[in-house]
Chain A
Amino acid sequence: MSANLEANIQKKKFSLAFIFSILFMGLGHILLGFQAKKIKSQSSKGIKKNVLGLHHLLFIKGIVFICIEVLALINLKALSKGIYDLVTLGTVTGEKIMKNNDHSIFLMAEGLIIFLIVLVIFVIYIYSITDVYKVNKRLNNDKYYIDNDYTFKGVINNMFPYFVLLPVALLIIFFVFFPLLFSCLLAFTNYSMPYHMPPKNLVDWVGIQNFIDMFSLPNWKEAFIGVFSWNVIWAFVATFLNFFVGLLIALMLYDKDIKFTKGFRTIFILPYAIPGMISLLVWRNLLNGQFGPINLSLKAMGIIENSLPFLSDPIMAKVSVILVNLWIGAPYFMLLLTGVLTSISKNLYEAAEIDGASAFQKFTKITLPMVMFATAPLLIMTFSHNFNNFGAVYFLTQGGPDNVFPPGSGAGATDLLITWIFELMNGMQKYNMAAVLSLLVFTLIAPFAIYNFSKTKSFKEGDY
């Protein structure tokens, strides 16, 4: 009877801890700590000296949680101002001295960081409440328990992953996650030249207006359709042309009647080995419309009379970009496919010859299927790489020639989405539209990226 009563009183006290932890984070842990200590002193037999008692852990947790809440309360004004600024994006504008204006973008960055901090505090708060609830329950059931992990060494050992990953996580959060989140938010503002550039003007939230503009305003719509369709064509052609030319070279060098294959191969690898940016910049000069040596040579040979606009005519510029990319990219496939060809069993060809297959039949029925099977994953990877191949376009044409789309969008004939985004941010300073396009690129490229990862070992073994 009396034991029952005691248990009841204890239970009540513990649920008091639960209410305490809702009222002020950490108080519940302290209360439970005292309870645990009391129970321990009542039944102290068989507990080793070097073991950290449960109450120690509860005290430590409680103090940490209290500190967090106290810090949050001290800075309550700053925190709420940050959230307020994130919502309004500043109110002071039109001051004579521009320094006094609210700078919407800084307010937004600070507000976003503060919002994330508040979010983390909230998660900790929820965690503390559930933790009190769980410990409370266990204390009621087992009175007092010891976990082997609660030795000093055990606790340090358990924390090892967090010690290592904390700095890594901070780096990623500040320099990868936060910037990307920030640019997602920009897609819903009007941050752009010329009317919404802080500190001269304020920036406002505009909801999904930018997305509507992108798909309904004629100049943006036309530019988007043009750039996007060229982007898809480019990714296909660049990938498959490189693949087939690479295959062709590999097949010719694999032929038993051809000598000096090693010499040829070494020369053909060169474009792959030279840094891509340098090759592209050199080609840009070679193809120069006025003084480019290719034009001069063609003229000297009497093939053409006037210089060809390799990089300044929309169609020719597209062809040039594809061909220069072929020069850079085909060697990679040649290298790769040489390896694949040597791995195809000779027996297959011999059997086909006995059956009277022609050379063409041997190619379409044996070589091509085998090669395609071995390289399909790599083709998809190359496709997604080419889809966002910034350098191949930017270093050669910088997206130009520029006069093909109605003015205002800043897109050029050879622009891919990725170079267009860069141009919008770097030159035109239309950050809102750049952010809209970034979100679109993300949705388009995500399936390929996920496919790529499904091919990695870590993913396949389900151990991640």
Chain B
Amino acid sequence: MLKKRMKQVVYYTILITLVFIVLYPITWTLGSSFNQGSSLQSTGISPIPDQFSLEQYRKLFTETDYLYWYKNTLKIAIINMMFSVAITSLSAYVFSRYGFKGKKTSMISMLILQIIPSFTGMVAMYIIIWKMGLLDTHLGLIIIYVAGQIPYNTWLVKGYLDTIPRELDAAAKVDGAGNFTTFFKIILPIARPIIVFLAIATFTAPWMDYIFPQLVLKSQKNWTLAVGLFEMIDGEANNAFSQFAAGCTLVAIPFTVFFMLSQKFMTEALGAGAVKS
């Protein structure tokens, strides 16, 4: 009994310390976003502000381009998601269901292509985007995102589609369904878990990517959140920390809620599709 008490004391001490460590940066960010002063220095050591104020949020909306960044990121994320899902699921369907010349070669080349971190091709991407007149446009960034995700995700989705019995589309073909009808009416509904996974993954990627927006988007109004937030606190002075905290809060809250809701679903979909148990 004493041993059990001892164990409980030790465990609870550790767990509560961990709770403190986990919550410290979070409360601190939340707290300073409601602070009156904007620099890191003015926030002091307590995460709870002396005076509750929405000043930082007001400044964020009026003095910075934060709203533009939010809108840009949302726009890029949604368009990227739509095109990625359409293109990747269709090409995965073709790879899963059709035999054609060069299939094996193209599957293996895609495998090799996705090994290298894509930003190592930055110089040439910049030249292409520039020559196409897409520098400082969101379209240029979206094209890079959509193209870049194809190799990996095609493999992933194809793996899932391979588990769907071929008899189903054979039956549909007998009933006179064409290629596209089979895809939309038979395959897509069954493959919904992996499609939703793909949609979530391609929707969330642009929110936190810093490298490509920083390469393509030059004018401040065109930036995405990642670039904007990074630039806000880049440099030693940290004069805008509270604004940065407010900006983070407005991204992190919807993101975290969304993540918590989709988490269980995501792991199940990925587990079913990707890794054979």
Contact with B along A170-190 (1 / 0, CB 8 A): 011011111111110010000
**A391 CB to nearest chain B CB (Å):** 8
What residue of chain A has the Cβ atom nearest to residue B110's Cβ?
A172
What residue of chain B has the Cβ atom nearest to residue A381's Cβ?
B275
> A296 — which chain B residues lie within 8 A by C-beta?
44-45
Contact with A along B99-121 (1 / 0, CB 8 A): 01001101111111111111111
Complex contact A257–B7 (CB within 8 A): yes
> A285 — which chain B residues lie within 8 A by C-beta?
40, 233, 238, 241, 244
What residue of chain B has the Cβ atom nearest to residue A417's Cβ?
B117
A327 to B17, CA, bound (A): 13
Contact with B along A246-267 (1 / 0, CB 8 A): 0001001101011000001001
* Sample of 25 A–B contacts (CB below 8 Å): A105-B127, A157-B179, A168-B91, A175-B125, A175-B144, A177-B109, A179-B121, A182-B123, A249-B18, A258-B8, A258-B11, A270-B22, A270-B26, A273-B255, A275-B207, A275-B255, A285-B40, A286-B24, A290-B236, A390-B211, A421-B120, A453-B111, A456-B275, A457-B274, A464-B103
Given contacts A264-B15, A275-B255, A442-B115, are A176 and B151 in contact (CB under 8 A)?
yes
Other-chain contact of B273, A282, A446, A457 (Cβ < 8 Å): A457
Contact with A along B38-62 (1 / 0, CB 8 A): 0111011101000000000000000
A1 at interface by CB-CB < 8 Å: no
> B115 — which chain A residues lie within 8 A by C-beta?
442, 445-446, 449-450
List the 9 closest pairs (A to B, CB-CB), nearest first.
Answer: A179-B121, A175-B147, A182-B124, A179-B124, A438-B120, A457-B159, A449-B115, A273-B259, A171-B147
Contact with B along A428-463 (1 / 0, CB 8 A): 000100110010011001100110010111101101
Complex contact B248–A278 (CB within 8 A): yes
A303 at interface by CB-CB < 8 Å: no
Other-chain contact of B143, A157, A171, A388, A455 (Cβ < 8 Å): A171
B150 at interface by CB-CB < 8 Å: yes
Q: Which residues in chain A, 215-269, are within 8 Å of chain B measured between CB atoms?
A: 249, 252-253, 255, 257-258, 264, 267-269
Q: Which residues in chain A, 284-299, are within 8 Å of chain B measured between CB atoms?
A: 284-286, 288, 290-293, 296-297
> B244 — which chain A residues lie within 8 A by C-beta?
281, 285
> A291 — which chain B residues lie within 8 A by C-beta?
39-41, 238
A292 to B263, CA, bound (A): 33
> A283 — which chain B residues lie within 8 A by C-beta?
25
A51 at interface by CB-CB < 8 Å: no
A314 at interface by CB-CB < 8 Å: no
